[in-house]
Amino acid sequence: MKAGFLALPLIALPFVLNDFWLTQIATRALILGITALSLSFLATYLGVVSFAQITLAGIAGYTIAYFGPNTVGVGIKLPFWVSIPAALLFSVTAGALIGYIARRSRGIYAIMITLAIGVAFFYFTRQNYAVFNGWTGFSGITAPVVAGTSLRDPSTLYFLSLATAAIAVVLVSLFARAPLGLAIQAVRDAPSRVMALGIPVTTPVVAAFAFSGLIAGGGGILNVWYQERISSFSVGLGPIIDVLIIAVIGGLRHPLGAFLGAIVFVLLDTFAVDLIDRDRFNTLIGMVLLIIVMVAPNGLQQLAADAVAKLRAKEHQSGKSARIKTNT
């Protein structure tokens, strides 16, 4: 009932929005939301804020670019049904590797080691021409054509992103309830106790990062189809911070927070220039961000949930009092 309440308008969107709103706003928000979800998943269930999620998305994106059609003459062209699994495989493997490197880091130190990994990857892609084509990166990437329809077609890409987002949300909830997911949460709550029980901490941490790599990889593939290009800039500090902003303003406690944060971010990023003197839009973005951080400590999702709860309580109250009145 609740899912339907959410799904119906989302499915109806392509029929009411023009291409700009559908692709540049809705699809872009979904794609960013998927990558941000991989961050909020780690934050919520493992208690680790990872700045390396853009790196994982980027690894998947670069794989698609390298093994797909592009206009820079780098890479080997493979059919998409090979390159897509390869992209996910790489992002999952990279996730596992990052998890292994960061397995002992907590709190601020985990943020820093993942940031270092992210920035190192960024500089590597910028300097390496053989695989990543350096500064310029890959352009002219086209999404696969399936049954005569390009996956980059606005409605198709939207539905594809929506489906991926839905699957990611479901996977996160399933994973959280699976034995491995429970072990991860135990690590979050008391790593030393888990170790005392004789359970190695490494396995759950690596698994959690690998799983986040799967989700981020999905976002990365969609992103490279959406952008039709990828370069060192796509994995730089800017996108890294964008995804963090999205996850945190949306709220880390609920999978839907990432998407709420993404839509707010995309709207702000796109329209800030229209709302204020075109030269000072960054000030506006910064201010809005600051206000959200200050008034919504647990993110917009929590803020919205509280508002709904309050509204319900009020309704409930007035309903009750009405009933009492009729009774008397």
* Rounded Cα gap, residues 232 and 55, in angstroms: 10
Q: For residue 42, how many other CB atoms are within 10 A of its CB?
A: 30
Find the binder of another protein among 58, 75, 99, 137 (CB under 8 A).
137
Q: How far is the CB of 89 from another protein (least distance, A)?
A: 22
Question: How many residues contact another protein, by CB under 8 A?
Answer: 72
The runs of H, that is alpha helices, within the chain are: 2-16, 19, 28-41, 53-66, 80-101, 107-127, 154-177, 179-189, 191-196, 202-227, 237-250, 255-275, 281-295, 299-327
The yes or no reply on residue 24 touching another protein (CB under 8 A) is: yes
The yes or no reply on residue 149 touching another protein (CB under 8 A) is: no
> Segment near another protein (CB under 8 A), from 32-40, 111-119, 214-222, 318-326?
111-119
Find the binder of another protein among 76, 278, 327, 328 (CB under 8 A).
278
3-state secondary structure of 71: coil
By CB under 8 A, the residues from 36 to 65 that bind another protein are 43, 49
By CB under 8 A, the residues from 297 to 326 that bind another protein are 297
Give DSSP secondary structure letters for 88-138: HHHHHHHHHHHHHHTTT--HHHHHHHHHHHHHHHHHHHHH--TTT-TTT-E
Find the binder of another protein among 79, 85, 200, 286 (CB under 8 A).
286
The yes or no reply on residue 182 touching another protein (CB under 8 A) is: no
The yes or no reply on residue 29 touching another protein (CB under 8 A) is: no
Q: Are 255 and 173 in contact (CB under 8 A)?
A: yes
* Angle subtended at Cα 32 by Cα 26 and Cα 37, rounded to the nearest 5 degrees: 120
Q: For residue 59, how many other CB atoms are within 10 A of its CB?
A: 25
Q: How far is the CB of 18 from another protein (least distance, A)?
A: 4
By CB under 8 A, the residues from 83 to 102 that bind another protein are 101-102
Q: How far is the CB of 210 from another protein (least distance, A)?
A: 17
By CB under 8 A, the residues from 248 to 277 that bind another protein are 248-249, 270-271, 273-274
Find the binder of another protein among 279, 324, 326, 327 (CB under 8 A).
279
The yes or no reply on residue 1 touching another protein (CB under 8 A) is: no
Q: Are 211 and 117 in contact (CB under 8 A)?
A: no
Find the binder of another protein among 136, 155, 185, 203 (CB under 8 A).
136
The yes or no reply on residue 35 touching another protein (CB under 8 A) is: no
Find the binder of another protein among 48, 56, 84, 111 (CB under 8 A).
111
Closer by beta carbon to another protein, 241 or else 322: 241
Q: How far is the CB of 140 from another protein (least distance, A)?
A: 5
* Rounded Cα gap, residues 216 and 58, in angstroms: 9
CA atoms within 13 A on the CB side of 68: 28
By CB under 8 A, the residues from 187 to 246 that bind another protein are 227-229, 231, 233-234, 236-238, 241, 244-245
The yes or no reply on residue 106 touching another protein (CB under 8 A) is: yes
3-state secondary structure of 230: strand
